[in-house]
Chains A and B, each alone.
Chain A
Amino acid sequence: MRADLELISDWIPAGSRVLDLGCGNGALLEHLQQHKRVAGYGLEIDADNINTCIEKGIPVLEQDIDEGLQNFAEQDFDIVVMAHALQQFRRPDLLLDEMLRIGKEAVITFPNFGHWRNRIHLGIKGHMPVSEFLPYNWYDTPNIHFCTFSDFRDLCQSKNLKIQRWAAVDGQLRDHWWTRMMPNLFSETAIFKVSR
């Protein structure tokens, strides 16, 4: 399982009702089903991922998140998760509102664009960063709304959301005193748990 998913699963209480937005091949939900008695659903639009979920018995719904989540009732889920996908949607801010309409809490992970290596790429080399983890060119990237650790924290503050918990980790998903001290500069992945 992807290391950030492992981290997220530690943040999800046993027995919760979970909605995983952009669930991929269902790895997180599978882990949560097996280890935490979690009843959950994943949303996905990739045909191969959907099929993998069906084969594994992970409840998956083919639904385009950009077209809205109106079909879900208010506060229907304990936790709504979005792992490494927020930056791919048309309006991440409105999506965050929706996540907290249907869920009591939201867990979000995203690549921190403020990481020092990105800054060097842009600041010294003068090019949009391309890395192993973010292997796209600016014109073909699905990541249309990159943000930094601080940008996201500011968005939560402007919406008066409570940041229940956060983590700032390196490429191997480990946290260090330096990633904790200066998350915006040193973390590659940011993880937030927020509520109203």
Chain B
Amino acid sequence: MPETIPADSVGLITPQVAQFDEPLVLACGQTLPTYQLIYETYGQLNADASNAILICHALSGDHHAAGYHSMEDRKPGWWDSAIGPGKPIDTNRFFVISLNNLGGCGGSTGPTSVNPATGKVWGAEFPMVTVEDWVVSQARLADRFGIQQFAAIVGGSLGGMQVLEWSVRYPERLQAAAIIASAPKLSTQNIAFNEVARQSIRRDPEFFDGNYQAEDTIPRNGLGLARMLGHITYLSDDSMGNKFGRQMRHDTYQYNYEVEFEVESYLRYQGEAFTKRFDANTYMLMTKALDYFDPAAREGGDLAKVLSKAQCEFLLVSFTTDWRFSPARSEEIVDALIRCGKHVSYTKIEAIEGHDAFLFPIPRYMNALRGFLGRVANRLPEEQA
């Protein structure tokens, strides 16, 4: 709980909901007749709506990126370290929009929402959504604010994929793109990890083919397991080693299957905590969105050809110990951007945190983001006092 709101925080925030009654045709072929998007904004939109930054969230993220919902909150939003007055995503200069993606469980229409056609919870019936669908829905949200062009769009991991898609789907609608710890498509190993996560959910007897809400239960074990596996892949061997080593619960081995090593306890806790805040169907959907993303496939596998449509300036950031989305994956994007002559800068940040590093305020990383967005801010029109 914050005793007082820190000076560099965006403060107390109330999420807003936008209702859309224009049907959305999804990549999977189905149509969502109506839907809602929940979002938060930080900072002030300027007169010509040119100072907006869109934040795209990753697998388990949501719209609550910065600030607090109440003085009782234990922690601020998931990217509070980067968003706020004077921070790299500077709310003194930018108007920041952060939404929960379609199919999410943070308040936007998703598997836990009621299907207006049936009056029942969507559950497993909720259609598959893709990165492309999200970008289209995000553009519609931008239209509501009269934002023709974002000053920048920023995202890490799955969020970075959305930024990449924005740059080629609506090239004229963003000036700058920051793609952090991301990839142009998942590797085979990535897809394999996702499949294990999905199987652990689906094989939980409490899953009921995705209609667990109707049965008044949740697949706690399966979702917890999926999260434990995911969590391991977000950390590096070194960071886990530093944090836990072989620390034990007891002084001597107990020779049983209870928690022996502290890392086991940590993973169990992480898995359990996740089931209290996240929906299993949403987790399944998000992992599928990751699997399906492959913009280069639209041009016979030629990423440079796809990216040649882009008009914005790019910043790519990777982290040395990230093995889920390794630096080499970011470099694939960088190389393709160079091949088609785009304005791109790339930095590979020394970090111990693995894939999770993109959520940490590592000074070099924050400075790169600050420098990149600072230039964007300097091009904005002077505000009338």
In the assembled complex, the Cα of A71 lies from the Cα of B344 at a distance in Å of 15
Q: Is there a chain A Cβ closer than 8 Å to B334's Cβ? A: yes
Select one of B334, B368, B372 contacting A61, CB under 8 A: B334
Interface of A is mostly: mixed
Residues from chain B with Cβ under 8 Å of A41 in the complex: 338, 344
Interface size on A, residues (CB 8 A): 21
Count of inter-chain pairs, beta carbons less than 8 A: 50
Select one of B338, B339, B345 contacting A54, CB under 8 A: B345
Residues from chain A with Cβ under 8 Å of B315 in the complex: 54
Residues 282-340 (chain B) with a chain A CB within 8 angstroms: 313, 315, 331, 334-335, 338-339
Q: Is the CB of A55 within 8 A of B334?
A: no
Q: Is there a chain A Cβ closer than 8 Å to B371's Cβ? A: yes
Q: Is there a chain A Cβ closer than 8 Å to B277's Cβ? A: no
Residues from chain B with Cβ under 8 Å of A51 in the complex: 364, 367-368, 371
Q: Is the CB of B313 within 8 A of A17?
A: no
User: Digit string of B337-372 for contact with A (CB within 8 Å is 1, else 0)?
Assistant: 011010111111000000000000000100110011
Interface size on B, residues (CB 8 A): 21
In the assembled complex, the Cα of A63 lies from the Cα of B339 at a distance in Å of 16
In the assembled complex, the Cα of A41 lies from the Cα of B314 at a distance in Å of 13
Residues 8-28 (chain A) with a chain B CB within 8 angstroms: 17
Residues from chain B with Cβ under 8 Å of A72 in the complex: 335, 338
Q: Is there a chain A Cβ closer than 8 Å to B243's Cβ? A: no
Residues from chain B with Cβ under 8 Å of A62 in the complex: 346-348
Residues 5-27 (chain B) with a chain A CB within 8 angstroms: none
Within the complex, what minimum Cβ distance (angstroms) separates A184 from chain B?
A: 38
Within the complex, what minimum Cβ distance (angstroms) separates B332 from chain A?
A: 9
Q: Is the CB of A54 within 8 A of B371?
A: yes
User: Digit string of A101-116 for contact with B (CB within 8 Å is 1, else 0)?
Assistant: 0000000000000000
Q: Is there a chain A Cβ closer than 8 Å to B74's Cβ? A: no
In the assembled complex, the Cα of A163 lies from the Cα of B343 at a distance in Å of 31
Q: Is there a chain B Cβ closer than 8 Å to A126's Cβ? A: no
Q: Is the CB of A53 within 8 A of B339?
A: no
In the assembled complex, the Cα of A41 lies from the Cα of B340 at a distance in Å of 12
**Chain A: CB-nearest residue to B367:** A51
Select one of A17, A47, A54 contacting B372, CB under 8 A: A54
**Chain A: CB-nearest residue to B374:** A55
In the assembled complex, the Cα of A39 lies from the Cα of B371 at a distance in Å of 20
Which one of A39, A50, A61, A63 has the highest number of Cβ atoms from chain B below 10 Å of its Cβ? A61
Q: Is the CB of A55 within 8 A of B375?
A: yes
Q: Is there a chain B Cβ closer than 8 Å to A151's Cβ? A: no
In the assembled complex, the Cα of A175 lies from the Cα of B338 at a distance in Å of 36
Residues from chain B with Cβ under 8 Å of A61 in the complex: 334, 338, 344-346
Q: Is the CB of B345 within 8 A of A59?
A: yes
**Chain B: CB-nearest residue to A54:** B371
Q: Is the CB of A71 within 8 A of B335?
A: yes
Select one of B339, B344, B371 contacting A59, CB under 8 A: B344
Residues from chain B with Cβ under 8 Å of A60 in the complex: 345-347
Q: Is there a chain B Cβ closer than 8 Å to A73's Cβ? A: yes
Residues from chain B with Cβ under 8 Å of A54 in the complex: 315, 345, 347, 368, 371-372, 375
**Chain A: CB-nearest residue to B314:** A59
Contact sample, A vs B, 24 pairs, CB 8 Å cutoff: A39-B341, A41-B338, A47-B364, A50-B345, A50-B347, A50-B368, A51-B364, A51-B367, A54-B315, A54-B368, A55-B371, A56-B375, A57-B313, A57-B343, A57-B375, A59-B343, A59-B344, A59-B345, A61-B334, A61-B338, A63-B346, A71-B335, A72-B335, A73-B339
Which A residues have a C-beta under 8 Å from some C-beta of B? 17, 39, 41, 47, 50-51, 53-63, 71-73, 76
12 other contacts beyond A50-B368, A60-B347, A61-B346, with CB at 8 A cut-off?
A: A41-B344, A51-B367, A54-B315, A54-B368, A54-B375, A55-B371, A55-B374, A57-B375, A60-B345, A61-B345, A72-B335, A76-B339
